Amino acid sequence: MRRIKLYTATSLDGFLARPDGGIDWLATEGDYGYARFYDSIDTVVMGRRTYETALSFGAYPYPDRTGFVFSRERAGTIDENVTFLAEDVEEFVRSLRLRPGRDVWLVGGGELARAFFEKNLIDELQLFVHPLLLGAGLPLFLPRPGDLRLRLLRCRSWPNGLVELHYEREGLA
């Protein structure tokens, strides 16, 4: 079955980006396993703000992957990169898992990740923690009800202080 993977970077204090959305602090001097991860997925899912941020950097970064963007404003439309939708995340994931293909990357952002976490839909969390305290910004983990237990699959570190924490949801085979 296709897995839903949240693969993202965060500051040590849990922020995805600066308050203005800036990600200039991300370590970019290495691949950190990104190419291997990217080869494992064929679908990307994100929120509208994450999509717009991705476009602001120039060319759309995932042109060779099927893309879905959750957006109440643009639901039902399609552009050259993605299909916009506003359906229930649980129904969407159930349908997506039935389709043939590789794994699915939940690109972000925080609100969409919270909706996926609330419904227990994220199978793997691959988190790259940067050795930096931003002090404020857009948080990775928004408040959500209840506990979610994870099992550590791997922990790696690099000389620049970057740490990868790779978890899967407890109870997965």
Residue by residue, pLDDT tens for the chain (173 residues) are: 899 999 999 999 999 989 988 888 988 888 999 999 999 999 999 999 899 988 988 899 999 999 999 998 888 888 999 999 999 999 999 999 999 999 999 998 888 998 998 899 999 999 999 999 999 998 988 777 778 889 999 999 999 999 999 999 987 75
Q: Which domain does 42 fall in, by range?
A: 4-169
What proportions of the chain, in percent to the nearest 5, are helix, strand and coil?
20, 35, 45
Kindly report the pTM of this predicted structure: 0.91
Question: CATH number of the domain that 99 lies in?
Answer: 3.40.430.10
Q: What's residue 101's pLDDT?
A: 96
Distance between CA atoms of residues 132 and 121, nearest Å: 29
> Which 3 state secondary structure label does DSSP give 144?
coil
Angle at 64 between CA 11 and CA 88, to 5 degrees: 65
Angle value at C-alpha 35, between 81 and 98, nearest 5 degrees: 55
Domain count, the chain: 1
